[in-house]
Structure 1
Amino acid sequence: MFSLTQQLVVLLRRPISPADRQRAAQHLLDWLGCSVLGVRSNAGEKFLSLLQSLATDGPCTVLAHDAVDWQSALWVNAAIGNIEEMDDVHRTSVLHPGPVVIPAAIAAAQRLAASPQQLLDSIVIGYEAMIRIGQSLGPDHYRFYHNTATCGSFGSAAAVASLLGLTDEQFVWALGNAGSRTGGLWQMRHEVVDSKQFHTVDAALTGSLVAYAAESGVRGPAAILEGPQGLFAATSPEAVGERVLAPEADWLMWQCSFKPWPACRHVHATIDACQRLVVRRPLSDIQRIEVRTYRDALVFCDRSQPQNTLQAKFSLQHAVAVCLLHGAPQLSHFNEGCFQDPIIDRLRGQVQVTECEAFQRAYPNHFGASVTLTFADGSSTSEEVSDAWGDPENPLSGEELTDKANTLMRAAGVPEAQRQQLINATLALPDANSLDPWLQQWPTSTGAFE
């Protein structure tokens, strides 16, 4: 009887097409845009400062820093991709693959002098492992565990195992040991801390280490998922193991969503509903604002009085107020000057958030929300969306995805010529002969930013 992990490795050996590699390049571009801006943040500076005492010279590229050893590169590159809350997301697994899988794959690809095609293939495979295990976990897991952290080590292990060319047995060992060390508790949401960045760092580093260890013969448990003291038994008794092996026509990367707005994904459907509203009267006429959405959006984002930028990004009330006052939300709308604005504060106070049974039934296959404005004269207007912008049913176009990356890099201070060169080089990776010309376009010192 083969374990779930053994059968998963067989699925990870499927052919990867040129279209799949092009999709991987888009996710790589999306991660770069988020990371270039993330490394310029206060949180990014903290992880950069670690390099001063930990790093040694090496072959691996770090944003805003000189080349260092592969582990130090992971410390920064895996920490910065989710800081701005614009990283890619997979809905039914409720996790963000890019910030974990991509830094691990890049570090290993540089260490092993891999080709661009091998890098892209490893990203496809890492996403697949991470998502398949994530979608098998039940909602009981997500109540306490950060799925990006608990499943991320599987994704990074699979990506690095692919680049190393591990045998099936070694691949199983890597995944088994990744699962034996996984973790990431949600308690961080209740305090002003940087643990979310550390979660992605630890997942990327753990997965990488167990893959290298497996190459050296370090064995791992094959039944780490379904075993009597495995991941499911310990962290998710409601898990459905069959979902690890669910048949799919395409690689699950194609089911991932790109985030257009600089806020938690649970806020995006509400933002989209606000964008559809047509309000032809002063905002002072609004008497009540009602947001109806699914339960997890309330659990994570019912926050009427955000006290910092991160809390503003996790506030349904703040997102609604920003949209009504400014239209499409921009990066600056979640900064201190905006979330302390008295007009924004007044609008936030009018927002009531409630769970909607229909949206809850559709979740997590669909992230939906409605927004209703009721005016002083008793009239009202309402809009709803079933799928947030950027989801597969409502996708960003290639041009919109490129515009997002360009906007984030511009906000970080990357000069226009360098932005265009980096974007073009990233999207050209499926047909490139070497990673070096692409890596040479990275802004790898503070002097590369305006």
Structure 2
Amino acid sequence: MSGSSPATRFITSLTWDMLPGEVIERAVMCLTDTLAAMLAGRATRAARVAADLAHDWWPGGTATSIVGGDRLATGGAAFANAVAANAVDIDDCGIYTWGHPGAQVVPTALALAEERRLSGRELILAIVVGYEIAFRAGRCLNHEQSTIHSAERTYRACGSWGSVACAAIACHALGLNEATTRHALGIAEYDSPDLPMMRAIDTPGMVKHGVGFGALTGLLSADLARRGFTGIVPGLDFDEFRPFVDDLGRDYYLPRGITWKRFSSCAWTHPALLAIEELRSRHPLDPGAIDRIVVETYPDAARLGTRIPLTTEEAQFNLAWPVAAMLVDGRVGPEQVADSRLGSPEIAALCRRIDVVVSEEMTHRYYLSEVNDPEGSDSSSVTITLTDGTVLSSGRLDHVLYPEPGWTWDEMRDKFAWLATGHVEPASIPRLLDALANVASADDSSVLIRDLASSLIPVPIEQGAVS
């Protein structure tokens, strides 16, 4: 298998001069956001288990585990940090992927940056390659799912297309040629995990989106190809998908294709949470005075259900728990979905008063949003009946994911400081944020991760986690 293609040309030939300023800024913000998510997730049981395994299987390398601060081989660090990045579901979502690119792209790029002492510009280039290929690979892999409007669809979650994106990052960072890169992409796609996503919605577990295996499979695939291992023709090279890849290097999806999360729960819950925020801004809501809550939404959000969660993963893949937590605490962050919080009698009591109704109109708008129709949106409305008979309604709230209203640097800095608190020494947060904002000028970007690792605070381990 040989020859050039739009995907392999982009991966192997992308240079700094080809990046528009808005792409560079977005990539740096993605780096900042994902590092914050990694820090927030490092105390979870899932992150601890993954880091413990990585420590045993891949000890003594050049890359840093954000969970424990120890040094691991490149694949081990990427695997462990990816699991941490998605562990509390506050990492970014990407257009066409139905999932989370940053949780795989950034840990992979950072591990390679430490291994190869990449400059700040080289790190950003690797991140851009990862995101742009993730958007296209996800679009190719799941292109048929948006036409299946029933409970039977079970699209493949993040680690599937993420394997291809992470292989692309490694090929770019290693300087592999087009022919070798094509094999790496084919190996990654062939060996990518299956990840039937909707089964994880119905029975949540630590498997979640398979991001750790996406990062690891991508790195293994590039290294195999570098050593002469061959792969299949990657889907990115199929004629039917040429419209998805022909614009690589000319039209960057990154500036309009990322949604950053303010809530630590599945994105399908966010329209309802925004509706609660709207109600709270207009009415003082005493959780004890609430008799009934009705959430109107679309089928995928309704499928999350209203069960009382027993684990953090069940809390994140749940509609009632985040809604109740928002009413009780006024926010849904890592604390609200932590295993230690799941015994809250106040939140659990509100969960039992929540009914979920599928709206035909919201369903129609949701399916339009999946094909990026301008009339589409992720929508919800929340109606609250108080014990005195008062009825409060948010009305329909339409949440458009792509493009979303742009975040400012101040908002991203605030999110990083919020999620980093308790995980790094307080005095180091401004220094880390300055280093992130100026990462493009760094001669050796791995200094950033070493500085972060030296600032880590040992955190309490969630119940049941390994030590």
State which of 255, 261, 264 in structure 2 corresponds to 1:262: 264
Distance (Å, rounded) in 2 between the aligned partners of 1:449 and 1:417: 17
Question: What's the CA shift for 1:291?
Answer: 1.3
Deviation at 1:281, TM superposition (A): 6.3
Q: Which residue of 2 aligns with 1:244?
A: 244
CA separation in 1, counterparts of 2:63 and 2:391? 60
Q: Give the AA of the match of 2:173.
A: L
Q: Equivalent of 2:389, from 362, 371, 377?
A: 377
Structure 2 CA distance for aligned equivalents of residues 281 and 102 of structure 1: 39
- The equivalent residue for 1:222 is 233
Q: Which residue identity is paired with 1:437?
A: V
Aligned equivalent of 2:158, options 142, 148, 151: 148
Q: Distance in 1 between matches of 2:99 and 2:437?
A: 24
The residue type equivalent to 1:272 in the other structure is: L
Could you list the structure 1 runs, at least 4 aligned residues long, displaced by more than 6 angstroms after superposition: none
- Offset at 1:30? 1.0
Aligned position for 1:103: 107
The TM-score, its normalising length taken from structure 1, stands at 0.86
For 1:368, the aligned partner's letter is S
| Structure 2 CA distance for aligned equivalents of residues 102 and 381 of structure 1 | 40
Point out where structure 2 has 5 or more consecutive residues left out of the alignment.
461-467
Letter in 2 for 1:40: A
For residue 268 of structure 1, what is the amino acid of its counterpart?
H
1:362 offset after TM fit, Å?
3.1
Q: Deviation at 1:66?
A: 2.5
Unpaired segments of 5 or more residues in structure 1?
Answer: 233-239
CA contact (8 A) 2:114 2:446 kept: no
Contact 1:87–1:98 (Cα < 8 Å) also in 2:
yes
Identical residues among aligned pairs (%):
24
User: Which one of 325, 339, 343 corresponds to residue 322 of structure 1?
Assistant: 325
Classify the secondary structure of the residue corresponding to 1:416.
Answer: coil
Q: Provide the rounded CA distance (Å) in 1 between the counterparts of 2:272 and 2:319.
A: 7
- Give the TM-score, by structure 2 length: 0.83
1:8 aligns to what? Answer: 7
Counterpart pick for 1:76 among 77, 80, 92: 80
The equivalent residue for 1:177 is 187
Q: Quick one: distance in 2 between partners of 1:344 and 1:360? A: 28
Deviations 1:384-435 (A, max 9, x none): 32126x86333332211111111111132x1111122222112211222221
1:158 CA drift (Å): 1.0
Does structure 1 residue 57 correspond to structure 2 residue 56? no
Residue 226 of structure 1: CA displacement?
Answer: 7.8
Map of 1:236 onto structure 2: none
Aligned-pair CA distance for 1:446? 6.1
- Aligned residue for 1:443? 453
Distance in 1 (CA, whole Å) between partners of 2:384 and 2:95 is 28
Change (3 A) 1:351 1:410: same
Q: Number of paired residues?
A: 433
Q: Which residue of 413, 417, 434 maps to 1:406?
A: 417
Task: Give the aligned residue type for 1:415.
Answer: E
In 2: Cα distance, 1:243 partner to 1:287 partner: 52
Matched, 1:85 2:97: no
Shift of 1:247: 4.6
Shift of 1:223: 4.8
Q: Give the conservation status (yes or no) of the 8 Å contact 2:145–2:153.
A: yes
Match of residue 433 from structure 1? 443
CA contact (8 A) 2:51 2:65 kept: no
**Alpha-carbon distance, 1:118 to partner:** 1.1
Q: Render the CA deviation track for 1:31-64: whole Å, top value 9, x for unaligned.
A: 1111122222222221222244223322222222
Distance 1:411 1:447 in 2: 7
Give 1:235's aligned residue.
Answer: none
The Cα of 1:242 is off from its aligned counterpart by: 5.3
Residues of 2 paired with 1:73 and 1:96: CA distance?
18
* Contact residue 205 and residue 314 of structure 2 kept, 8 A: no
Instruction: Evaluate the alpha carbon distance shift between residue 31 and residue 288 of structure 1 in structure 2; reply closer, same or farther with a 3 A threshold.
Output: same
Secondary structure (helix, strand or coil) at the match of 1:143 reads coil
The Cα of 1:188 is off from its aligned counterpart by 4.2
Counterparts of 2:440 and 2:219, CA distance in 1: 23
The aligned counterpart of 1:271 is: 273
- Three-state SS of the structure 2 residue aligned to 1:261 is coil
AA aligned to 2:19 is: I
